[in-house]
Chains A and B, each alone.
Chain A
Amino acid sequence: MYKSICSHAVIAVLLIHPLGASAADATADENAFNPAFSLILSGAYASLQRDPAIPATGFAMNPNPGHEQGFNLGESEMGISANIDPQFRGVATLALDPAGGVSVENAFVQTTSLGDGLNLKFGRYFSGLGYLNEQHAHAWDFVDQPLVYATLWENQLGEDGVQLKWLAPTELFVELGGEIGKGRGFPGTDRAKNGSGAGVLFAHIGDDIGIEQSWRAGASLHRTRRADAESIDVPDMNGNAVTNLFSGDSQTVGLDLVWKYAPNGNMRDRYVKLQAEYFRRKESGDLTYDTAGANVTDSYAVTQSGWYMQGVYQFMPRWRSGLRYDRLDPGIAQVGALNAGNVIADYAFRPSRISWMLDYSPSEFSRLRLQLAHDNSRLRLADNQLFVQYIMSLGAHGAHSY
């Protein structure tokens, strides 16, 4: 996830430069990255039977990152990182949009010398909730994020704020973390006032089982106050697509579990990785129905949830195959009396999807992937999808997290 050369290499480069030793000659040319610089090139071909703009049934008021049809250039991701001084390390990841324009995906500073198991991070970062949320797109095991991440977190929750983590001094891995931020990413509503717009708490535990197995389990809690969250093209009881506005509290709990197995613990040849995550979001507040027409406001509360389970198997060096099952539950909304005839409370449909992938990595720095999916996330609009994807990594390519 962190695309950087290791910090000790950076220090080593700094140390040997003034000496002008022969080792320094090799590192002094354009490949001596200080700061570490990396570029991810990715792209895909997608063949879909249905319009990707149609959201999952019951999730029209959630984001729909969807897919792009045909040949498409993915976001090229540019990463720069280095130790700033003995106290701080800086990381920036810029996403180059194929349509033009640059967006700041990550731009954070983290402490390196607080000690006592404390790590402080501030700036723009991916929240530490769940398991997949912190992983950059190039590290995903499938072309797309699970449905639950797509609908509840708009693929992944990015935040502008402060994160504090503490690791217990025990043999068992026990990590506690908290974040406060602006509420930049969905479901936050990008608050521009004093104070914080969203808070996250998470806890992780993990360990090895013998030499061949390892695991990590986590729990997360996310809270935000949503203000005037607008949703367009939401189907209503009368068969129209309207624009709604929601204001209220949003609270999400999540559980995640990852387990990995490799014969002799040697990940190079063969390994199995199983993971599952569950999120449940409760929202309650006021919904304004059809802001352009009827404009009726009354109470609204709903609990949405979703989970996925996936397994990836590296059956021989360089080759991996994976299977993932996704499921969502839009819940049954409690709609105030004024909107009872307007807003759909119960969709009586649970979206699901099954995806299979096969990928081949000629080296650590390149990967080619084929993915087939049967998407049943939209009522009566089952979709068979095919994706071909490439992910290439140039320049400094540092360590990935677990």
Chain B
Amino acid sequence: MGTNSKALPQRHRDTEETTPDTIMRKYWPTCSAFCFSLCLCVSVVKRFCLFFLLLLSTTAHAALDVFACEPEWAALVQQLAGDKANIYTATAALQDPHRIEARPSLIARARRADLVVCTGAELEMAWLPVVLRESGNSKVQPGSAGYFEAASVVHMLEVPTRLDRGEGDVHAQGNPHIQTDPRNFLPVADALATRLMQLDPAHATEYRQRLAGFTQQWRAAIAKWEKQAMPLKGVAVVVQHKGFPYLSEWLRLQEVATLEPKPGMEPGAAHLSQVLGALQQHPARMVLRAAYQDARPSEWIAERAHIAAVELPYTVGGSEAAKDLYGLFDDTIARLLAGTK
């Protein structure tokens, strides 16, 4: 930076000497501001572009650069693209995906991306629009081929009939936590593979084969999980955040209470006592929370209502065992079953 700003007056003087125009000298400040901005912008941009083009050409653009908003989509891209993609995961399992900041690192990574894969349904609304806008990358803007929203191909639950902030942080397009039902990965994988083939037609056959392989394995895994989860059918649960409707629908869990008074609002003591009172009327077996959530509210309830507090990995990396998509659901089912004991 220092060299740039030092180089600048020098460059300006050069321009002034090569054009010894009296008007230019008279209106020095005007011209200088104009010139130094424009000269610097244009020449520095050009020079850097050249420099980086050289850099890029040496690393050869063999693979697609994929920017995955959440770890589950990074894992899915990994399944579908293998070594054909360089994957960057923007958020970690222990981070609340609603509350990510548009950090410089994310903007820099989005700048290089060929494909952005996100949940959508306003989950990333607090940071992704700024990241994409500031990235200056026209390939990945919403609406272009390099922008993929998983929620767009999934049947959404909890689509609000009334949009009012008095209802808390509700999402107009429905509950965005679609990754808790493995069945949702099938249409997403299908659409994502199609997108990969579109962006990288040279490897279309490979994407098609990988998709077929994944679909077959995943269907078998779903059948296995559903069998394992039979004892969970109809089990009453309390949830900390309204983050499990897809899981509950899949496994027929019965959600009887929510610890957050409104979506996105912290559970206060008064509301927790109310939930505790309600639990005496309609008892539940366990209280569920995602790995990124504060443990205290669910532990407070669990202790007083004498039920199990179950922390679910929620996404890939959310627990020791949730190393990939298969591990995510193996561990989720195992933890739920342990909670009923």
By a beta-carbon cutoff of 8 Å, the part of chain A in contact with chain B is 2, 4-9, 11-12, 22-23, 25-27, 29, 31-32, 86, 89, 110, 112-119, 164-180, 191, 193-201, 203-208, 211, 214-216, 219, 221, 223-225, 249, 253, 260, 264-269, 317-318, 362-365, 394, 398-402
Contact = CB atoms under 8 A, between A and B. Distances in A.
Interface in B1-52: 1-2, 4-5, 8, 27-34, 36-38, 40-41, 44-45, 48-49, 52
A49 B297 CA distance: 44
A117 B136 contact: yes
Nearest to B156: A23
Contacts of A31: 163-164, 172
Residue of A9, A211, A225 ringed by the most chain B CB atoms within 10 A = A9
B231 interface: no
A201 B124 CA distance: 31
Q: What 4 A-B pairs are tightest by C-beta distance, nearest first?
A: A206-B104, A199-B33, A225-B29, A195-B30
7 contacts: A23-B173, A26-B160, A173-B105, A180-B34, A196-B33, A363-B168, A363-B169
By size class, the interface of chain B is 35 or more
Given A7-B142, A214-B104, A401-B134, A195 B111 contact: no
Given A168-B48, A265-B92, A216 B173 contact: no
Given A86-B143, A249-B29, A219 B5 contact: yes
B174 A399 contact: no
A267 B1 contact: no
B36 to A, nearest CB: 6
A305 to B, nearest CB: 17
B92 A363 contact: no
B108 interface: yes
B122 to A, nearest CB: 6
B326 interface: no
B300 interface: no
Contacts of B96: 266-268
Contacts of A118: 45, 136
A201 B37 contact: yes
Contacts of A223: 29, 32-33, 36
Interface string B51-69: 0100010000000000000
A115 B108 contact: no
Interface stretch (B76-84, B125-133, B182-190, B217-225): B125-133
B268 to A, nearest CB: 10
A11 B37 contact: no
A117 B129 contact: no
B264 interface: yes
Contacts of A401: 102, 130, 134
Contact of B129 (A4, A32, A207): A4
Given A32-B172, A264-B94, 11 more contacts: A26-B172, A118-B45, A164-B37, A166-B44, A169-B52, A260-B103, A318-B266, A363-B165, A398-B126, A399-B127, A402-B101
B5 A400 contact: no
B103 A402 contact: yes
Contacts of A318: 266
A216 B104 CA distance: 7
B33 A180 contact: yes
B333 to A, nearest CB: 25
A224 B29 CA distance: 7
B37 A199 contact: yes
Given A11-B142, A219-B5, A225 B30 contact: yes
A214 B103 CA distance: 7
Given A26-B163, A211-B92, A223-B33, A178 B136 contact: no
A266 B104 contact: no
